[in-house]
Structure 1
Amino acid sequence: MLKNYFKIAWRNLRRNKLRTSIHVLGLSIGIAICFLIFNVVTHSYSFDQFHPDKERIFRINTLTDWGDGGGSFPNSGTPGPLAEVIQDEISGVEVKGKLYTMYSTLVALPTSDKVFGRSDKVTFADPGFFELFPREWLAGNPETALIQPESVVISANSLHKYFPGTDPSDVLGQELMFVDSDSIYAKVTGVIADYTENTDFIFHDFISYSTIRTPEQLDWYGLHDWSSVNSSSQLFVKLAKGVTPESVDEAFKPLVTKNMEAGDDGEYNTSFFAEPLAEMHFVPNYGSTSVSKVFLKGLSTIGLIILVLAALNFVNLETAQAISRSKEVGIRKTIGGTRLQLIIQFLAETFLIVIFSTVLALAMVEGIKILFTSYLPQDFRIDYFSVYNSLFYVGFPVLISMITGMYPALILSNYDPQRALKGDMIRNGKFSLGVFMRKNLTVIQLSASMAFIILVLVLNYQLKYVTSQPLGFDKEAVMYARLPFMSDPDKMIQLQDRYNQESIVQSASLSGSLVTSTSLWTSNAKIPVDTTEIEINIQVMNVDSAFVRVNGIPLLAGSDKITRSDEILINAQFVNEAGFESPEEAIGTEIRYSDKQVRIIGVVDDFHSRSLREKIRPLLFTYNPSYFQSVSVKLNSDQNLAASKERLEQIYLTVYPYEEASFSFLDTQIDQFYQEDEKIKNVLGFACALAIMISCLGLFGLSSFTIAQRTKEISIRKVLGATLQQILFLISKEYIILLGLSFLIAILPAYYFLNNWLNGFSTKVDMPYFIFVAAGLGVMAICLLIVGIHSYIASQTNPAKVLKSE
């Protein structure tokens, strides 16, 4: 019996090739998008889910609340002393583990003078860390490996890199050198296997935490007091069974009161909270493995919308074509077919369509994945034979078949056999659920398409606007490179002098950060006013005397030759907030910054040191050569940029032979500000194209069918003298009304999303309502073109051929 259902279904699909093709193409697009997003989401939620007792493991975070609208700022780090007292002060903490992450650490093998370059996968760790996160030990004792200072546990990855071809047990006792603020000579005390599962713990080298033991080291790493909170200092705990994170958060309050004071004048407060291990992947962490939950939710929403459009397209076309199958239903019922049998028959057809669509969708997935590689998580792979995907193959087609096929099946199986055989299925003057649903489903499809178009066009309009705004500095022909962490100031000066001697270079500058970047250093400055002081929150940049000149920042007053730690430059916004009448008045004024008196020697014009999402802050330039981290080079005009880049990197390697030289243009740094927005725009653009394609497919099928039903009406009107224009207007009139209603519905969600997004920019366009109208007219033109072509073809048919049977 079941075989007959599918045999008949197959024949019906082959007989109606156009209808089948439209259904398969529309549904396959929706299923492909859903399958890819399903795998991205399951991949993201799989990180660190393999650890024992994972639901009881938490990372302790710090929350600073500035109050009075200043905002709350979570930090994944904690003060060093908290780790020492947490088990004594907080009940319910079963195990604690500490990490102190290091960045750009130079690794070398002192016995053979091998240098392996800089690594971001080196960290300090205590024995409790491996108790929380057990590993497979290839050599060494997990209970003692990280107890003694100057010990290091390496992963199998590091073993093959540092000691190729050596057995794990043979490297125990070997010495490695790690260069950070100082040189650490650590003996290998253990070798562990690398994780094969998805994890955010990217580290390969674990130096014993007890290595940080002198007061100078504790002060350098910011572990000396409760007021120092560094995101590098990470604290993990495993709670006892039955202990809730909420109770731990509450227990932190008296600990904070006991050991931490509010900021000056009580302007901020600090608290701690326990973050579940499962949430760590959705906040910035150790590498670039994290992903935003907001992005995942947005991606899922887009996938769901595309699938809903495809499903609506199916339902709409099936209900429109139901009348053409009325005689089939009438005959089946007359010869004894039951309604249940008819429902099963029509669901069998739907199921076959969904199966074909799923197969085509899987072929599409790889193409879409290649197209959006840069948008997908690193090392993202689709395991087509995983348990989750196997469930998808079985459950998803059944679910979609039921959702898309049940309503058309119910409509078709409910026909009265006598009226169906007569072909009398249209009740003039009476409400028709099929017509009502068909029109409303069409409106929903068109509304989604219009909303997507509006979103993409406005996002593009705003991004073009902000990238065309003057930034307040000269970004042309400026290249930069990172300096080694805590490099010798004399070497940095040597590198700068070498660049200034080159004919291709106009000038070179050393600084703590670029003229514009994502980094932000804030502090407070106190300005004398009569007998009192006013305090303002400021941004701080560490620069040399060439910084202003290299970056083309206009100087308003004084000098830009900052060469002493007690000299500063400020910007025009600082002048305004400090209450100076003019830039000239500020010159020579002494203010308090970082607990010392400093003198203003120059005032520069305002410039955008961060993205145009943010307002320009009061800015202070200070001079501290020990903490310079970047070198910026302004090239002379008309230079071969590729050759200049190569020459700059050659010079870099002569000064730092063990480093990696990599120069980039300042423009690329600016582009990164809006990288996420560009991704959103491109994803929405792709979704927009799919939505339009699906809607056009549906409209093509729907209009071809409905116009075919009105062929006799068109022929009669032609015989009675109707012109081509009158016929086209008559048929298009209904679609114009539907398009108008779709436009009104599309405006609301598009405006809501865009208003929130635009409010995130301090420099933004006014809401471009003309784009809303243009998008609506554009969709109307496409739809009327499709309808018009079908109407024109129908109007050109000879009336005698159509009416000869009447």
Structure 2
Amino acid sequence: MWKNYLKTSFRNLLRHKGYTLINLLGLSSGMAVSIFILLWILDEVSYDRFWANSDRIHSVMIHSEMPDGSLSSHPVPTASLKDVLLDEIPEIEAAARYSFETDLLVKNGQEGFNETGIFADPAFFEVFQLPFSKGNPGDLNTIVLSEELAAKLFPQGNPVGKTVSLNQNHVLTVAGVFENLPTNSSLQFDFIAPFELYLRENPWMENWQAGGSRTAVLLRENSQLPNAKLSGLIQANCSECSSTAFLYPYAKLRLEGRFENGVNAGGRIEQVYLFGFVALLILVMACINFINLATARSGTRGREVGIRKSIGAQRGELVLQFVMESMLLSWIALLFAVLLVQLLLPFFNEVTQKSVDLDLTNPSFLIGTLSITLMTGLLSGSYPAFVLSGFNPMRVLKGDSRAMLSGSSLRRVLVVAQFATSAILVVGSIAIYQQIRYIGERNLGFEKENILVVDQNEGIVRTYAGIKNDLLQLPGVENIAFGGNSIFSVPITSPDPVWPGKPQESTVNFKIFRCDEGFLPTLGIPLAEGRNFLGVQDGANYIINKKAAEVMGLDPETAVGTPLEMWQGKGQIVGVTEDFHNDNLRLGIEPMVFMYSQNVGSYYFIKVSEQSPMTATIAQIQSVFKKHNPDYPFEFSFLEEVFDREYQNEQVIGRLALAFTCIAVLISGLGLFGLASFTAAQRTKEIGIRKVLGASAGSLSLLLCGDFAILVLASLAIGFPVAWYFVGEFLEGFTYHTEIRWTLYLLTAMLMLGLTLLSVGYHTLKAAWTNPVDSLQNEG
């Protein structure tokens, strides 16, 4: 029986090659999108779950009370909390402090590399259980290297027992080599040095009101989450502290680690849900094509059903036959989809900044792909199977066309649903693209073009005066400056600035940015009042932006000279800058205080002349750095690249949305093309009669296209309000955003109608040009 069903299904698919090709293109495109999204989702949810005992690893988080009473949550507890956790919480088996990733010079003899690493407690290896290929974790005076870094430093042999210098401050013995971390690790580093070295250089981290490092714990097996016991630990050791500690699963931190006012508010998991929903939508659209074409072809399959029933076939057997046919088509479509995914995978990885591969041995991938295929086959075939198998054999064999040509209302509903979904995706993807372009073109209030950003290191700090002097002698260099952190999203905020008349209950947080006297002119930040820093004599003086003057209750024009006290002591405001964007454009312009510094921070900024040849100027800059700083490799990026990375997530979403929208529109067009061919065939006699009565080819084409155009207009009437709502929700996430004009909806409508004319036009013209004598002679 099964063999007969399979053979019959193959014959039906081969007999109607055009119908089969249209369905294959639609189903394989939809399944390819679903597989791409499945790969992306599997990669996202796999982050940090590869660690042994990942379900028992938790990050120590802090709820810090802000001046206005709200809570700010972050994974940066005081370094002193670790020992208290081990002493007071029996559910904790091990606890380890570790620093944020930092780039330091790792040198073996004459060969040195600027590598990313962390400082960590010995217990780090118990919590995370890094697999070692050589040696072991070691002790206080040792370092462990990744296989990649070990091969770079010691290409000729085993590095265990040999010494390396770290940042030219510490000579450490290599105790072991650990396997390279996978790409789905939130932590990415190539060496681990002792945390005690880090603590010696940053003793302030042991203050109970300070942070600066992270802590992870390993809970004992079968133990409950002891957050109730953690809530009072900080206050018990620090009467001035108002923060509370809690544990949060480490493996969930990347996807679900966003907190708002102390309550978990999701995170990147929202993107996982969004793209999962998009995959389902596109897959359903592909299945709609199959349903529409199958029910439209009911007239050609009706006599087959009638004959089968008349010789004793049961309805269940017919349902099974038609479902088998759709399942066979789904498996064939899966093969094409897998080939398409393999072909486009490099492009997909480039767009998403990932390195996923098509691992056919991954159980999760196989289960997901099998589920997609089965769902496609069942969803596509179930309704047509029940419709076709329900035909009355007597009426069908007598030629009653009304008994066969059923489901037209459903087909109209499905076409409307398809094009409404396509309209939503088109409007949404264009809106995302316009917002990304708006971000890239918006005047930020400072210059970001032709500026090189060089990470600070010990060698630069020691020789900065000489480097700066030599760089300014180069004809292509206009200025050089020091600045701490990224100017696009200043991470340091504080309520500490004190000025005359500051309310006792003030809840204002200020962005704090350390820089030297070259920073404002290098980035072209204009001063509205006062002057720039002059040098070390301004060590206790401050520059603010207009927004800061506003929240302080000062007039920007008279704010210069106002006393201001901050971390560097009592001083005064010497300048007021124009407002500029100092955070992600999702947020507004924040009040900001500039503090003078020559070396406390992260970056050096070099302004290069637009008229100078960039390649030659960079080579000259590199020679200056190598002259004063020969041990460190010269590494830089452009400030524009730093800006682009700030909005990388939005760019990825935009590119994916555009790609998926194009495929959704293609699927809709394919369905309309196939449906138009059968509609034209069904109305052949009507067209012949109209031509005999004098109708022109043009009027007949408009008649047939008009039916589909009405459906498309109905879909736009449904899709546009939905798109307007979701686009508005997306843009509300940005304080500064583009304006979506009515022309976007007009262009989308024209695109949808144009696609309809292209899909339907060929068949309508072909039918309209057919000799009416031939159509009337072939009535049956």
Q: Normalization by structure 1: what TM-score?
A: 0.89
1:114 and 2:115 correspond = no
DSSP-derived class of the 1:49 partner: coil
1:802–1:783: structure 2 CA closer, same or farther, 3 Å change rule? same
Deviation at 1:193, TM superposition (A): 4.8
Q: Which residue of 2 aligns with 1:633?
A: 606
Amino acid at match of 2:295: T
- Deviation string for 1:259-300 (max 9, x for gaps)? 34567xxxxx52222121321443799xxxxx9323322222
Structure 2 counterpart SS, 1:527: coil
Are the counterparts in 2 of residues 526 and 536 from structure 1 also a CA contact under 8 Å?
no
1:567 aligns with 2:552: no
Cα RMSD, aligned residues only: 2.8
Distance 2:235 2:287 in 1: 58
How far has the Cα of 1:735 moved from its partner? 2.1
Change in 2 beyond 3 A, CA 1:302/1:722: same
* Partner in structure 1 of residue 347 of structure 2: 371
CA distance in 2 between counterparts of 1:23 and 1:544 reads 65
Structure 2 match to 1:593:
566
Partner of 2:114, secondary structure, is strand
Q: Deviations over 1:77-113 (max 9, x none)?
A: 221111011022224222223323451121123xxx2
Distance 1:206 1:663 in 2: 24
- Give the letter for the 1:185 counterpart: V
**Cα distance in 2 for residues equivalent to 1:205 and 1:637:** 39
Q: Residue 228 of structure 1 aligns with which residue? A: 210
**Secondary structure of 2:119's partner?**
strand
Letter in 1 for 2:74: N
1:377-392 matches, within 5 Å, as: 378-392=354-368
Provide the residue aligned with 1:780 in structure 2: 753
State the Cα distance separating 1:785 from its structure 2 match: 3.7
Matched pairs, number: 768
| C-alpha displacement of 1:358 | 0.9
Structure 1: how far apart are the matches of 2:229 and 2:768? 80
**Is the 1:569–1:600 Cα contact (8 Å) retained in structure 2?**
yes
Q: Could you say which residue in structure 1 is the equivalent of 2:397? A: 421
Instruction: Report the secondary structure of 1:597's partner residue.
Output: strand
Say if 1:262 and 1:270, in contact at 8 Å, map to a contact too.
no
> Does structure 1 residue 166 correspond to structure 2 residue 157?
yes
SS of the residue aligned with 2:82?
Answer: helix
Pairing of 1:713-752 with structure 2 (within 5 A):
713-752=686-725
* Kept in 1: contact 2:295–2:406 (CA 8 A): no
Distance 2:378 2:502 in 1: 79
Cα distance, 1:197–1:552 mapped onto 2, change above 3 Å: closer
- Specify the alignment match of 2:172 in structure 1: 186
Cα distance, 1:501 vs structure 2? 0.9
Equivalent pair of 2:587/2:734 in contact (CA under 8 Å)? yes
| 1:177 lines up with 2:165 in the alignment | yes
SS of 1:349 mapped into structure 2: helix
Q: Indicate if the aligned counterparts of 2:542 and 2:573 stay in contact, CA closer than 8 A.
A: yes
Matches within 5 A, 1:280-295: 280-282=253-255, 292-295=268-271
Cα deviation code 1:345-384 (max 9, x no counterpart): 2222212211211111111002321222224464422212
The answer (yes or no) to whether the contact 2:539–2:568 under 8 Å persists in 1 is: no
For 1:494 and 1:767, how far apart are their aligned partners in 2?
Answer: 51
Residue 335 of structure 1 pairs with residue 326 of structure 2: no
Mapping for residues 658-737 of structure 1, pairs under 5 Å: 658-737=631-710
Aligned to 1:151: 142
Question: Which residue is equivalent to 1:470?
Answer: 443
Q: Give the letter for the 1:73 counterpart.
A: S
Q: Aligned to 1:305, what secondary structure does the other structure show?
A: helix
Letter in 1 for 2:163: E
Aligned AA (1:53): N
Change in Cα spacing, 1:195 to 1:374, as seen in structure 2 (3 Å) is closer
- Other structure's SS at 1:556 match: strand
Query: Distance between the aligned counterparts of 1:209 and 1:351, measured in 2?
Result: 59
Q: Distance in 1 between matches of 2:181 and 2:549?
A: 54
Partner of 2:96: 97
1:24 is matched with which residue? 24
Whether the 8 Å CA contact 1:100–1:125 is kept in 2: the answer is no
Q: Residue 487 of structure 1 contacts residue 626 of structure 1 at CA under 8 Å; is this kept in 2?
A: no
CA contact (8 A) 1:50 1:197 kept: no
What is the one-letter code of the residue matched to 1:228?
Answer: A
Question: Which whole-Å CA distance do the structure 2 matches of 1:228 and 1:186 have between them?
Answer: 28
Instruction: Mark the CA change 1:107 to 1:582 in structure 2 (over 3 Å): closer, same or farther.
Output: closer
Q: Is the 8 A contact 2:111 2:153 kept in 1?
A: no
2: CA distance between counterparts of 1:378 and 1:25? 27
Q: Deviations over 1:115-151 (max 9, x none)?
A: 422221342222x222233345556566xx33xx323
Deviations 1:407-426 (A, max 9, x none): 11111111111111123132
After the TM superposition, which of the residue ranges 681-690 and 573-582 deviates more from structure 2?
Answer: 573-582
Aligned twin of 1:209: 195
Match of 1:517 among 485, 488, 505: 488
SS in 2 for 1:626: coil
SS in 2 for 1:80: coil
Secondary structure class of the residue paired with 2:60 = strand
Alpha carbons of structure 1 residues 455 and 152: separation in structure 2 relative to 1, 3 Å = same
Measured against aligned partners, the alpha-carbon deviations of 1:747-794 in whole angstroms (never above 9, x if no partner) come to 243223211211122222344233123312320232134323322221
Give 1:88's aligned residue.
Answer: 87
Contact 2:448 2:640 in 1 (8 A): yes
Alignment of 1:444-523 (within 5 A): 444-484=417-457, 486-487=458-459, 489-513=461-485, 516-523=487-494
| Residue identity matched to 2:88 | E
Q: What residue in structure 2 maps to residue 54 of structure 1? A: 54
Does 1:125 find its partner at 2:124? no
Match of 1:134 among 111, 129, 132: 129
1:254 aligned partner: 232
For residue 164 of structure 1, what is the amino acid of its counterpart? Answer: P
How far the C-alpha of 1:308 sits from its partner, in A, is 1.2
CA-to-partner distance for each residue in 1:439-469, whole Å, 9 max, x for gaps? Answer: 1111111011111111122223333334333
The alignment's TM-score, normalised by the length of structure 2, stands at 0.92
- Go from structure 1 to structure 2 and tell me whether the alpha carbon gap of 1:699 and 1:71 turns closer, same or farther (over 3 Å shift): farther
**Structure 2 counterpart of 1:361:** 337
Describe the shift of the 1:765–1:140 C-alpha distance in structure 2 as closer, same or farther (beyond 3 A): closer
Q: 1:796 is matched with which residue: 769, 772, 777? A: 769
| Cα gap change, 1:805 to 1:46, in 2 (>3 Å) | closer
Q: Which residue of 1 aligns with 2:217?
A: 237
**Secondary structure, counterpart of 2:572 in structure 1:** strand
Q: Summarize the Cα distance change of 1:71–1:767 in structure 2 as closer, same or farther, 3 Å threshold.
A: farther
Which residue in the other structure is 2:75 paired with? 76
Q: Secondary structure at the match of 1:297?
A: helix
Q: Is the 8 A contact 1:80 1:223 kept in 2?
A: yes
CA distance in structure 2 between the aligned counterparts of 1:489 and 1:123, rounded to whole angstroms:
21
User: Unpaired runs of 5+ in structure 1?
Assistant: 264-268, 286-290
Aligned to 1:266: none
CA deviations on 1:179-205 (whole Å, 9 max, x unpaired) are 2xx822223344555567954444443
Aligned amino acid, residue 306 of structure 2: G
Letter in 2 for 1:456: S
Letter in 2 for 1:118: N
Alpha-carbon distance between aligned partners in 2 of 1:635 and 1:194, rounded to the nearest angstrom: 38
Alpha-carbon spacing, 1:198–1:758, altered in 2? closer, same or farther (3 Å): closer
1:684 deviates by 1.0
Instruction: Give the 3 Å change call, closer, same or farther, for CA 204–619 of structure 1 in structure 2.
Output: closer
**Residues 1:324 and 2:295 aligned together:** no
Query: What is the one-letter code of the residue matched to 1:188?
Result: V
